Structure 1
Amino acid sequence: MTTGLRSRLDERQVEGQDAQMFPTLAPESMSRVGRFGIAVSFDDDQPLFTAGAEAAGLYLIMTGRVRITQREGFGGLSLIVEHGPGEFAAGVGQLSGGIALIDGRAIGPVTAVLLPPERLRALMVAEAALGEVILRALILRRASLIETGDGGPVLIGPARAPGMTRLAGFLTRNDYPYRVLDAQNDPAAATLLAQYAPASEALSLVICHDGSVLRNPTERGLAQAIGMLGAPEPGRIYDVAIVGAGPAWRATAVHAASEGLSVIVLDARAFGGQADASARIENDSGRPTGTSGQALVTPSPRHRKSARIWPSLREFHLYTVHQQRRPWS
């Protein structure tokens, strides 16, 4: 039984991608996944993961059912899907220990196999075909959340306000789902905006996963509030540091990681750098008709789905770099 996400996608798209987005593994495949996981159990209504909090990893459901819901910004919940035996509950962020964008709760007693991020990546190396099925599903789920705006923060304010444009652009460039409520057309949004803003102030509000409200946040403040920013591991020394995540970072990082080096990529705003914000780029060899900046810097589906290449990306994290002065000028 599914509503919410599936009902809001184009019908033809759902028919073509449903089995790939929510696959059911055969018993033999479940056994192969189980070799990499940890047996866990949950009581009725116990959470497996909570939106806005770090998720433990991927859960392969063995018995029972799990309800997946998304928060709507004003305290409501809507059903996305119910997972049963042979299905797995996770998002693409669980490959690197990211936060959950949705909620998962047990419907009655549930037994499952938990694959923490490092074991999930090990599965994708050892079981390439099975890993590709899982990775494809995780990517499609994130793409669907971005398309519908489910699972992310809610931006409230005048649709054309500079603050709204700035925050929406930041989330879009980081492939993070969000929704926009125009206070000029939505009574509930207008009421909330009136509580936080003087009539003369063009204020942009952000409602986060936990219900907290941010007033005109900076990009960094928003990223911290919704768990986008990680922190370097204490004492960790990387072999290669790439400063500036423009078009060249991907080739450099993948090549270094393929040689067994640990890599960290740093940028002040988003992967893709300034090129990602370009409406059109016409001087890239191999694209005589030009392409958008976002299409240029986004990894191809084949690259992202490659179970052989993906583990080499496991060390990549995005941290904000603030330059207070120009030390090299």
Structure 2
Amino acid sequence: MQASTEQLLWMYETMVAIRHYEETMASVYLEGKLPPNIQKGLAFDIGSGPVPGEMHLAAGQEPVAVGVCAHLTKEDTVVGTHRPHHFAIAKGVPMNRMTAEMFGKSTGLGKGKGGHMHLFDPEHRFSCSGIIGASLPPACGAALAAKKLGKDWVAVAFFGEGAANQGSFHESLNLAALWQLPVIFVCEDNHWAISVPKEHATSIASVADRAAGYGMPGVRVPHNDPLEVFDAAGAAVARARRGEGPSLIEVKTDRYLGHFQGDPEVYRPKGEVAHLREDDPIPRLATMLKRDKLITEAEDAQIIARAKQRVAEAFDFARRSPYPVAHDALNDVFAAA
């Protein structure tokens, strides 16, 4: 499937915005967690600073989010993982409210009660979860709802290669195939399930091969490339909209940062990240766009500036927003009798 110029430019600018967002969050997250004059690593306080709690960032994995979401509409559902920002941004979740949620502010998507692993936006049909493998069953539910309503909406479940060994993976694929649900299962294979390499936890080289056991198409995208993801996702989304059932896509992608911020990454071979960054998909796409005369150097600079401004405004909004008041603690927690 050939991407249009509009889609190519959207994918590029969205990737730039995601990368700058994640790099900004990496810096902001450390505020207050590493006090001065104390040796780094011995005083890391996960509860301090403007963004408390754990933080999982997706720098390097942008192609998966944009290549899939380029085919989606507002009515389609996306269920992400504990590393969710790239999916949320690509699905159109407001960056201001998403960031405020991570800051624990009342203007956040969940009024500051969920944090970065629990981002919910019903308007844009996006959600995520900190539980490994938890994205697949809800995506099946959304797909079943679309089918019952007679809509051509699709649902996408993103998950990591480690989650492909969970029972929820197998149960969801079996159910989706049995009921011919309009759902696309997308596996981000970044090789590391926290600190465990794929070959030490998974009995086959390609998770996509498992699709055959459930009677659905399975495709492995071998490169961390948004255009290759776009091609594979286009076929799967079109198939789902036609009522022909689910598909499984596995994408070889790269995680440039640790499993979480503060991860010492002692499990990674020396020089691995530097090697991966040599084939960074963002400058690679920029080079292609310039080569094909779809953008000029000046237009590229404008795209980057626009993306950075958007991110800066989101973080400024989050910092300026108020914290929830104490008596709101139980609001939106229990259903009314």
Task: Give the TM-score normalised by structure 1.
Answer: 0.28
TM-score by length of 2: 0.27
Q: Whose strand fraction is larger, Structure 1's or Structure 2's?
A: 1
Higher-Rg structure is 1
Which protein has the bigger helix share? 2
- By relative contact order (CA 8 Å, sep 6+), the higher-ranking structure is 2
